[in-house]
Structure 1
Amino acid sequence: MGSNRGGYREGMHRYGDEVAAIARPLADEGDLDILVDRVGSARVVLIGEASHGTHEYYVWRAALTRRLIVERGFSFVAVEGDWPDCQRVDATVRGGSARPDEALLGYERWPTWMWANEEVVDFALWLRAFNLNNGRAVGFHGLDVYSLWESMREILTWLREHDPSQVPAALAAYRCFEPYAEDPHAYAWATRFVDAGCEDDVVRMLIDLRGRDLAVWQNAEVVAGAEHYYRSMIAGGPTSWNIRDRHMDATLARLLDHYGEGAKAVVWAHNTHVGDANATDQAAHGEVTIGSLARERFGAGDVALVGFGSHRGTVIAGRDWGAPMEVMPVPPARSGSIEDILHAEAPERALFVFPPIAGRPDVLVDSLPHRAIGVVYRPERDNWANYVPSVLGDRYDAFLWFDETQAVRPLHPFHIDAREPETYPSGV
């Protein structure tokens, strides 16, 4: 194992043998056998990432997902992305005339690199070939809540073709938002100071569209969720975060129902959404996560939560919301953090599949700082601003470790990112 590769601190010795006992070297996809076995018959596997801009996280998340699709019959991949954008990718992986790389280039909302990158293209091309060669229809869907105006336009397009009688109700909702010029902050502030909300129009539209074609129904749910999210965003606190994660949880459940009996889902999202909030300070702040909600909805035995982490390297992020993407350095992890301990004691690439509670070592049951890098990142603040106190063995069921990582390979040129209204309460 690693023998004091820097970062090993006096007083941390007790974790050394523990890490060595549970770490398994990770060299190729075959080394994921134990994790695939751990997944077993689970209905939902949520696979995280410690940043939205790290090559190794995307590559190994895709590797695990491929094995789950091939060997465990998983039905679809649902990602922390917008429904309309992902619907275009879904059409390509099901054999449509467009190619996945063309659909992914259409991701224009900042942060573009989060899904418009070579790593996702490689997976989507594989998924398209798998579906065509095996007569399968494994889907690719977006769980997130941000695409209010895009979803409104998708609804109007669908209704004009399939149900023109419902167009007036949808237009009423759309026109209610028009004065805000697709600026969520303008809408949020307007609802805070005057009675200017569009909630009633959206609810009426949603009632009319529930139970229709999945795509139009889901776009209506996105509009409703986004309207609620933007109204709550200005107030701060956990409300907007929870609206978003509860929307993603409900969308996941809706997709499982749509795919039918025996359906199984892989979810791709940040560690701060995938991990169980009850094992972090998120719960103390009143926040839920998709991971904690999935364990509640489906039962812990039918859910597997997989986290990722690294010690140092490079990452793509922006210094402010909407700022141009940059390849940034990721400095060595904070002293005493999970990443610092694993840097000292684990192989350079390792897999941890956690034992039952009764057999867990202290490194899995102590609350330790665990790094989280968002799409907004300032490396000079990393030592104090990017760590979540976590009980690793409760937050996840397994963990993939990479001592040094590199930035993802974006599809868009670095110079085209434009500033746009901030919609995240945080960068994850």
Structure 2
Amino acid sequence: MVVHRLGGPGDFDPLLERVGSARVVMLGEASHGTHDYYRLREQLTRRLIAEQGFSFVAVEGDWPDCDRVHRSVTAMPGGMVDPLAALGRYDRWPTWMWANGEVARFCMWLRAWNLEQAEPVRAGFHGLDVYSLWESMQAIFDYLGEEEPATLEAAQEAYRCFEPYGRRIEEYGVASRFVSARCEDEVVRLLARTREQALADGPDRFSAWQNAAVIAGAERYYRAMVAGGPQSWNVRDTHMADTLERLLDYYGPDAKAVVWAHNTHVGDARATDMTDDGMVNIGQLARERYGDEEVVLVGFGSYQGNVIAGPRWGAPWESMVVPPARSGSLEHQLHGLLPERALVLFDDGEQPDWATETLDHRAIGVVYDPSFEKWGNYVPTRLAQRYDAFVWCDRTSALNPLPAAPVPGELETYPAGV
């Protein structure tokens, strides 16, 4: 194990050397509302794109919203000229996850970078998540109405299946427990038809295919959600892993991906207590699919500071105080061992006890109650097995959300809000 002090973007040199020719780099975060994680992740991603030729960024966000940003940053015909305007149209709670000043700064840089590149090699920005059932359905209507009107009926059949439940799609999940004729067959047929057409050239066809995959994934997610337990989590992370694989295939045999998601998705689940509950995540799935040498997993953590989060599901965001990490936790130990900002690289050599023992590792979701720190908000973790590298920020500050009207979100995920 090697520890490097972090001061500026140039201090990521050892990590870029570790990345080498890896195909996938996943950059985590210990919360969805911390400026420092987003800023450092942005700095590192710029270098991965500019210096090591990474092809796209895939985030823990909805496909339709991120596709609007993708069209802006790659200067596609009809795309918004200003990435800030594209981010400002995120309207599903928690909007601040991607509609924030830190992501806007990166996207403006990415557009400027892309404008200097030939169109075929411009770096993209995509969403991996499963929630956008209605938005994806509308996107398919819009695409088929213009490009494939003969197949519009298939999409309308799928829509009519969900229509009785309105936007309260969780009611479909409840009903599916008692009614044998579910929407599953309709969305599978829709997915098959759009997949057949999507293999032709063109980003619009690929986006239609992905929107159909989102609808199929959402149908499975809501059915699993009402049954309780970890299955809905596994549906969601498997969908994200499958989306990442489709993107790598779409970008070509030399494609390389940067993934932005919470530590609970990025860090290998097999090095936590998640595996005891039968849970998987995209970090684990990527290592299994592509091999350990092709995947670099980077976790983030801090001792104390401030964070943006909601006090309850769907509530407006607040800037909250993150108290000092609880005694005995990983963060409590690192507070006394590491510099204010540090990069830790794990290797096959000798590791300190805090890197190999199972210690509580803090995880803050979009819903946060600092008083709950005594009992929750921590994941038992073997750090050197969960990540290939770890970025430490002793004290952190809150994210900078863009102005947005508060809107309801989907039901909580398991574990809550990450």
TM-score interval, normalised by the smaller of the two chains: over 0.9
Q: How far is 1:363 from its partner?
A: 1.7
Task: For 1:408 and 1:140, locate their aligned partners in 2 and report how far apart those are by CA, in whole Å.
Answer: 20
Q: C-alpha offsets along residues 17-66 of structure 1, whole Å, 9 cap, x if unaligned?
A: xxxx8322110011100000000000000000000000000000011111
Q: 1:411 aligns with which of 380, 402, 407?
A: 402
Structure 2 residue aligned with 1:98: 81
5 Å-filtered alignment, 1:192-341, equals 192-195=177-180, 197-211=182-196, 212=198, 213-341=205-333
Structure 1 pair 91–403 and aligned structure 2 pair: CA distance change class (3 A): same
Structure 2 residue aligned with 1:374: 365
Please say if residues 190 and 196 of structure 1, whose CA atoms lie closer than 8 Å, have aligned partners that are also in contact: no
5 Å-filtered alignment, 1:140-159, equals 140-159=125-144
Please say if residues 112 and 412 of structure 1, whose CA atoms lie closer than 8 Å, have aligned partners that are also in contact: no
Q: C-alpha offsets along residues 67-112 of structure 1, whole Å, 9 cap, x if unaligned?
A: 1111110000000000000000000101244311000001000000
Q: How far is 1:389 from its partner?
A: 0.4
Match for 1:310: what amino acid? S
Q: How far is 1:161 from its partner?
A: 0.7
Task: For 1:194 and 1:155, locate their aligned partners in 2 and report how far apart those are by CA, in whole Å.
Answer: 27
5 Å-filtered alignment, 1:7-46, equals 22-46=2-26
Task: For 1:30 and 1:201, locate their aligned partners in 2 and report how far apart those are by CA, in whole Å.
Answer: 51
Structure 1 pair 223–423 and aligned structure 2 pair: CA distance change class (3 A): farther
Matched, 1:47 2:32: no
Please say if residues 370 and 387 of structure 1, whose CA atoms lie closer than 8 Å, have aligned partners that are also in contact: yes
Q: 1:67 aligns with which of 25, 33, 47?
A: 47
Structure 2 residue aligned with 1:78: 58
5 Å-filtered alignment, 1:132-211, equals 132-135=115-118, 136-195=121-180, 197-211=182-196
Structure 2 residue aligned with 1:391: 382
Q: How far is 1:361 from its partner?
A: 2.2
Matched, 1:127 2:118: no
Please say if residues 146 and 423 of structure 1, whose CA atoms lie closer than 8 Å, have aligned partners that are also in contact: no
Q: C-alpha offsets along residues 262-291 of structure 1, whole Å, 9 cap, x if unaligned?
A: 100000000000000110001111000100
Match for 1:103: what amino acid? A
What's the C-alpha RMSD, in Å, of the aligned pairs?
1.2
2:277 partner SS: coil
Task: For 1:45 and 1:418, locate their aligned partners in 2 and report how far apart those are by CA, in whole Å.
Answer: 32
Task: For 2:245 and 2:234, locate their aligned partners in 1 and report how far apart those are by CA, in whole Å.
Answer: 16
Please say if residues 91 and 407 of structure 2, whose CA atoms lie closer than 8 Å, have aligned partners that are also in contact: no
Please say if residues 23 and 347 of structure 1, whose CA atoms lie closer than 8 Å, have aligned partners that are also in contact: no
1:234 partner SS: helix
Task: For 1:225 and 1:421, locate their aligned partners in 2 and report how far apart those are by CA, in whole Å.
Answer: 14
Structure 1 pair 277–42 and aligned structure 2 pair: CA distance change class (3 A): same
Q: C-alpha offsets along residues 141-171 of structure 1, whole Å, 9 cap, x if unaligned?
A: 0000000010001011101111111111110
Structure 1 pair 97–320 and aligned structure 2 pair: CA distance change class (3 A): closer
Task: For 1:97 and 1:367, locate their aligned partners in 2 and report how far apart those are by CA, in whole Å.
Answer: 47
Please say if residues 322 and 422 of structure 1, whose CA atoms lie closer than 8 Å, have aligned partners that are also in contact: no
Please say if residues 88 and 403 of structure 2, whose CA atoms lie closer than 8 Å, have aligned partners that are also in contact: yes
Structure 2 residue aligned with 1:109: 92
Please say if residues 92 and 407 of structure 2, whose CA atoms lie closer than 8 Å, have aligned partners that are also in contact: no
1:193 partner SS: coil
Matched, 1:427 2:410: no
Please say if residues 58 and 119 of structure 1, whose CA atoms lie closer than 8 Å, have aligned partners that are also in contact: yes
Task: For 1:72 and 1:30, locate their aligned partners in 2 and report how far apart those are by CA, in whole Å.
Answer: 14
Please say if residues 92 and 408 of structure 2, whose CA atoms lie closer than 8 Å, have aligned partners that are also in contact: no
Task: For 1:110 and 1:244, locate their aligned partners in 2 and report how far apart those are by CA, in whole Å.
Answer: 17
1:233 partner SS: helix
Task: For 2:20 and 2:351, locate their aligned partners in 1 and report how far apart those are by CA, in whole Å.
Answer: 20
Q: How far is 1:359 from its partner?
A: 2.1
Structure 2 residue aligned with 1:17: none
Please say if residues 311 and 343 of structure 1, whose CA atoms lie closer than 8 Å, have aligned partners that are also in contact: yes
2:390 partner SS: strand
Task: For 2:39 and 2:410, locate their aligned partners in 1 and report how far apart those are by CA, in whole Å.
Answer: 30
Structure 2 residue aligned with 1:359: 350
Task: For 1:258 and 1:148, locate their aligned partners in 2 and report how far apart those are by CA, in whole Å.
Answer: 22
Match for 1:78: what amino acid? A
Q: How far is 1:192 from its partner?
A: 1.9
Q: C-alpha offsets along residues 218-272 of structure 1, whole Å, 9 cap, x if unaligned?
A: 0000000000000110111111000000000000000000000110000000000
1:167 partner SS: helix
Q: How far is 1:196 from its partner?
A: 5.3
Task: For 1:270 and 1:56, locate their aligned partners in 2 and report how far apart those are by CA, in whole Å.
Answer: 14
Q: How far is 1:186 from its partner?
A: 1.4
Structure 2 residue aligned with 1:18: none
Q: Which runs of 5+ in 1 are unaligned?
A: 1-20
Task: For 2:82 and 2:164, locate their aligned partners in 1 and report how far apart those are by CA, in whole Å.
Answer: 36
Please say if residues 313 and 404 of structure 1, whose CA atoms lie closer than 8 Å, have aligned partners that are also in contact: yes
Structure 1 pair 420–43 and aligned structure 2 pair: CA distance change class (3 A): closer
Q: How far is 1:197 from its partner?
A: 2.1
Task: For 1:184 and 1:376, locate their aligned partners in 2 and report how far apart those are by CA, in whole Å.
Answer: 21
Q: C-alpha offsets along residues 318-365 of structure 1, whole Å, 9 cap, x if unaligned?
A: 111111111111010011111001111110111101121x42222211
Match for 1:189: what amino acid? V
Structure 1 pair 351–83 and aligned structure 2 pair: CA distance change class (3 A): same
2:177 partner SS: helix
Q: Which runs of 5+ in 2 are unaligned?
A: 199-204
